[in-house]
């Protein structure tokens, strides 16, 4: 089946620093990738849709200048949390869309747990 990887799996950083998270589709090409955030005991909330070769589309309430998304190739999207603060601590999960005849399935990466001190 389709595999999506994320790196790093866990990161701890100081307040004010920037953190980059990579999301890769390993065995298929994904023109569209998605970034989600999940707080403890809560559901996944979509942050943005990342389209290869174009600007990301952000959900209402998500600051595009704080959460920079780049989708430079059909297998790689990156999320950079700029000037991170403790309230940005969360579990960040990416997904990649694998479209085919009769299917449009999203496959999820293992997630990145960000802790901002």
C-beta closer to other proteins: residue 28 or 91: 91
Distance of alpha carbon 72 from alpha carbon 55, whole angstroms:
10
Residue 51: is it exposed, middle or buried by C-beta count within 10 angstroms (0-12/13-18/19+)? middle
C-beta closer to other proteins: residue 87 or 104: 104
User: Which residues are near other proteins by CB under 8 A?
Assistant: 1, 32, 34, 38, 42-46, 49, 91, 93, 95, 97, 103-108, 110-111, 113
C-beta closer to other proteins: residue 48 or 84: 48
Instruction: Provide, rounded to whole angstroms, the least separation between the CB of residue 73 and other proteins.
Output: 19
Could you give phi then psi for residue 88, rounded to 5 degrees?
A: -85, -10
Indicate the SS3 state at residue 32: strand
Instruction: Provide, rounded to whole angstroms, the least separation between the CB of residue 104 and other proteins.
Output: 6
């Amino acid at each position: 089946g389709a595999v999506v990887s994320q790196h790093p799996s866990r990161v701890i950083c100081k307040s004010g620093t920037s953190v980059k998270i990579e999301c890769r589709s390993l065995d298929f090409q994904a023109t569209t990738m998605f970034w989600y955030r999940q707080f403890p005991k809560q559901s996944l909330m979509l942050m943005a849709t990342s389209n290869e070769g174009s600007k990301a589309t952000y959900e209402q309430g998500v600051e595009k200048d704080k959460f920079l998304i780049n989708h430079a190739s059909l297998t790689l999207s990156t999320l950079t949390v700029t000037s991170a603060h403790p309230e940005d601590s969360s579990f960040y999960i990416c997904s990649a869309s694998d479209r085919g005849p009769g299917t449009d399935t999203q496959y999820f990466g293992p997630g990145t747990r960000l802790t901002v001190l």
